[in-house]
Amino acid sequence: MKHPPRFEHDAYLQELATDLVETGAEDGRPFAVLADTVLYPEGGGQPADRGSIGEIAVVDVQRREGAIRHYLERPAEPGQVIVRLDWRRRFDHMQQHTGQHLLTALAHDRFGWPTTAFHLGEELCDIELDVPALAPLQIEMLEEVVAAEIRASRPVSVRHVAPEDVGSLDVRTRGLPPGHRGEVRLVEIAGIDLNTCGGTHVRSTTEIEAIKLLGTEPIRGGTRLFYVAGGRVRRRLAAQEARTARLRSLLGTPDEEIVAAVEARLEQGRVTEKRVRALEEELAAALAEAMAARPDRVVSVHLEGKDAAFLQRVAKRLSEFDKVALLTAGAAEGGFFVLVAGTGVALDVQAAGREIAEAMGGRGGGSGRTFQGKVPSLAARETALARLLARLGGQ
């Protein structure tokens, strides 16, 4: 492509007739190179566009070896083609990217917070600011000045200048890409910012619609500031409203009481959970005492509906008695087991536990007088018990 691609001059062009001049494959992915394109290749923090070449979907666009490669869902043939842009995705990126320029300029010029990095994500965008932290009031102040410049409807334009002229202009830049040749592309927000950038942007700050700052997190000694712009603000608000409506229905409270209602439910849940644990401890102790009272040397019990943690509670209590117990829980298609022996019983619990696990096709481990495991099936439970009895009888 000997001239700048069409998207650099007209970010609003959605369809173009051009020639497919080269095909190939990279790591098994078919690609095509066009004489010109409306699809933006990934770069500068902005993701690649999506679209189609004829009837073939373009799944990625990247710069490679001085060319723009369009990676395809299936191979294409050389010749004249129509390349079409996924406009919804592109316009979203234009809003987010122009929003970043505005945020960066105002954060630096009004508050002295320089931007060190930018990321345009599928859901959220962020800029990294060279400032240790931002207080909620500072974030609110930045959001207010950004909103004022959106309302001001400042024109956003693109121009190209010779590299030697960049130094004489008040350009915000972190330097040109390695190996850059030819003119330098500048994106300007009138009266606010002049920036070296190869990305796509809206024509006026009004088209950003709105920017909502969502919060911060510390990163590399600075602060990452999350935001959404344009249509994402409306979509995010709609999703939040839908969730809030659902919570209103579930909790039976108005919006302003939802948080308090959830906090009350959580506290109630914590109290209930504490009571359940206490009751389970009492039940485990009672079961252990009942098992210990049996005349049999070996106790075998299946506890339907219980989990591994409950088995361990019962086993802990049983370890105080001179008994051997094989405890199981779960369904026929899978479950848990615990082998426990009191200190007065001559049994290599770890060896016996491994034998039981093998008999039921499972695995496990333990230490001291307890061995626990997980098995895919309890169908061989009686076989496992027989092996345990045989081991005890042989001592």
Q: Taking Cα atoms as reference points, which of 94, 120, 50, 84 lies closest to residue 231?
A: 94
Going by C-alpha positions, the residue among 221, 218, 150 that lies closest to residue 189 is: 150
Residue, of 48 and 165, whose pLDDT is higher = 48
CB count, 10 Å around CB of 84? 17
> Which among 339, 320, 319 has a CA at the least distance from the CA of 328?
339
Q: What is the enclosing helix (H) or strand (E) of 70?
A: strand 67-72
Phi, psi of 308 (to 5 degrees): -65, -35
Kindly provide the residue ranges of all beta strands, DSSP E only, lying in the chain, ordered along the sequence: 15-26, 29-34, 51-53, 56-64, 67-72, 79-85, 115-120, 125-129, 156-161, 184-189, 193-196, 211-219, 222-229, 298-303, 324-331, 334-341, 363-367, 370-375
**CATH of 283-393 given 1.10.8.590, 3.40.710.10, 3.10.310.40, 3.40.50.1820:** 3.10.310.40
What CA–CA distance (Å, rounded) separates 144 from 150? 10
User: Which residues share a beta bridge with 68?
Assistant: 63
Binned at pLDDT 50, 70 and 90, residue 165 comes out as confident
Location of structure tokens 């300007």? 188
Percent of the chain surpassing pLDDT 90: 77
Q: Where are the domains of the chain?
A: 6-85, 91-238, 283-393
**Both tokens of residue 235?**
């979509």
| pLDDT confidence band for 250 (50 / 70 / 90) | very high
Kindly report the average pLDDT of the chain as a whole number. Answer: 92
- Amino acid (1-letter code) at residue 238: A
State both tokens at 119. Answer: 């990321």
The helix (run of H) or strand (run of E) holding residue 383 is helix 381-393
Whether pLDDT at 68 is above 50: yes
Say how far apart CA 54 and CA 43 lie, in whole Å.
25
Give residue 178's pLDDT band: very low, low, confident or very high (50, 70, 90): low
Q: No. of H helices and E strands in the chain?
A: 9, 18
pLDDT tens, position by position, 78-95: 999 999 999 999 999 999
Architecture of 91-238 per CATH? 2-Layer Sandwich (3.30)
Q: Dig out the tokens for 162 from the structure.
A: 């010779």
Query: Among residues 359, 352, 351, which one has the least CA distance to residue 375?
Result: 359
CA torsion, ordered 47, 48, 51, 56, to nearest 10 deg: -130
State yes or no: pLDDT of 394 exceeds 60: no
Largest CA distance in the chain: 98
Region 6-85: CATH code:
2.40.30.130
